[in-house]
Amino acid sequence: MSGYRHALVTGGAGFIGHHLVRRLLGNGIAVSVLDDLSMGQRQRVDPAARFIEGDIRSPEAVREALAGVDCVFHLAARVTIRGSFESFYDDMDINLMGTANILRELPASNVRHFSLASSMAVYADCESAVPVPESHTTNPIAPYGVSKLAAERLCAQMLATAGIRFSALRYFNTYGPGQTFTPYVGVITIFINRLLAGEPPILFGDGEQRRDFVHVDDIVAGTVATLAGEPGIYNLGTGRDTSVRELAQQLLALLGPERTVEYAAAQEGELRNSIADVSAARRGLGYRPTRRLAEELPELVEMLRAAVR
């Protein structure tokens, strides 16, 4: 891993973060975790990692977390799209100003590499269901996307000035074990939880929104690959699309073939088409997503079923 010895993972008690922590430890890299546990869970963090409970907006917490660190994976954020209209101030405060606080503390550290977890929400909508490259127009339609795009641009400027390697990773719709249920994030987890509770999946609008569902293991593999890969801005998805209606039908087949979906009004801030062109990540990171949604759903259903028993 290009000589890196100690990583900081902000948000390391969260869904993607705790998987990333385990992968880094497995690769022989020491890990510190900074998480305020607002969404993350302390028990998820591997005992081999050093844990600091704190807010990324706190200079003291960030300084403590950066001690001895030579690379940073910045995942801590408020992650919501529809909900970001009513919580736009908090989104900007945490996602942008929290990032700025980390950047402010870097000059006094030994950090040589910085990876930012960004989002497909930075893109403008696409008229057709085709994979979008990193050059696609960045014109977010929700405040969450605005906060992530601003964080990307701030990192690019300040880290270039500091001579620190930087990669921004635009995660697409990530799913997998350990995703916390919320009303706003993770449509697969939302649908499965509703079906297990005897409730129908709810489709907003016509349900034909097309999404690139990518397994958390592939996201983690792409994220770790930034340590040895070319710095840059990269989409992390699969390049394959599934409509939200198709997803619901697949889950109904597993959990309730006799049931049907419900429809509700289209929601503000949702992209119609969100599919990743991962060509750049293949070239620059050696990224090769291996998990396929249809093959992973049965196991994920059983994991969530066991969790509610």
What is the tens place of the pLDDT at every residue in 59-80? 999 999 999 999 999 999 988 7
Question: DSSP string spanning 123-184?
Answer: SPP-SSS-PBPTTS----SSHHHHHHHHHHHHHHHHHHHHT-EEEEEEE-EEE-TTPPP-SS
**81 is written with which tokens?**
């799209």
The pLDDT assigned to 270 comes to 83
| pLDDT score of 308 | 63
Residue 1 reports pLDDT greater than 60: no
pLDDT digits 0-9 by tens, 198-225:
999 999 999 999 999 999 999 999 999 9
Residue-level pLDDT at 157: 98
Token digits of residue 257: 């073939």
DSSP at 132: B
Tell me, what's the pLDDT at 82?
65
pTM over cut 0.75: yes
- Grouping H, G, I as helix, E, B as strand and the rest as coil, residue 306 is helix
Q: Which of 4, 144, 171, 175 is catalytic?
A: 144
Task: Read off the pLDDT of residues 232-277 as tens digits, 9 standing for 90 and up.
Answer: 999 999 999 999 999 999 999 999 888 899 999 988 778 899 999 9
Q: Is the pLDDT of residue 93 over 90?
A: yes
pLDDT value of position 79 = 83
Domains of the chain, first to last: 6-175+216-239 (3.40.50.720)
Average pLDDT over residues 86-96: 90
pLDDT of residue 83: 67
Instruction: Verify whether residue 144 is a known catalytic residue.
Output: yes
Closest alpha carbon to 95 in 112, 109, 111, 83 = 83
Main-chain phi, psi angles of 167, to 5 degrees: -130, 135
Instruction: Count how many residues are written for the chain.
Output: 309
What percent of the chain has pLDDT above 70?
96
* Rounded Cα–Cα distance for residues 224 and 203 (Å): 34
On whether the CB atoms of residues 195 and 256 are closer than 8 A, the answer is: yes
| pLDDT for the residue 306 | 81
Residue-level pLDDT at 84: 65
pLDDT score at 268: 79
15 has pLDDT over 80: yes
Mean pLDDT of 135-160: 96
pLDDT confidence of 184, banded at 50, 70, 90?
A: low
> 50, 8 in Cβ contact below 8 A?
no
Question: Model confidence over 19-59: pLDDT tens digits?
Answer: 999 999 999 999 999 999 999 999 999 999 999 999 999 99
Q: How far apart are CA 65 and CA 135, in angstroms?
A: 34
pLDDT at position 168:
98
Lowest mean pLDDT: which of 14-23, 64-73, 185-194? 185-194
CA dist list (Å): 294 to 58, 209, 297, 301 = 42, 18, 6, 11
DSSP H helices in 169-256: 187-196, 216-224, 244-255
Average pLDDT along the chain: 93
Question: Does position 282 have pLDDT exceeding 80, yes or no?
Answer: yes
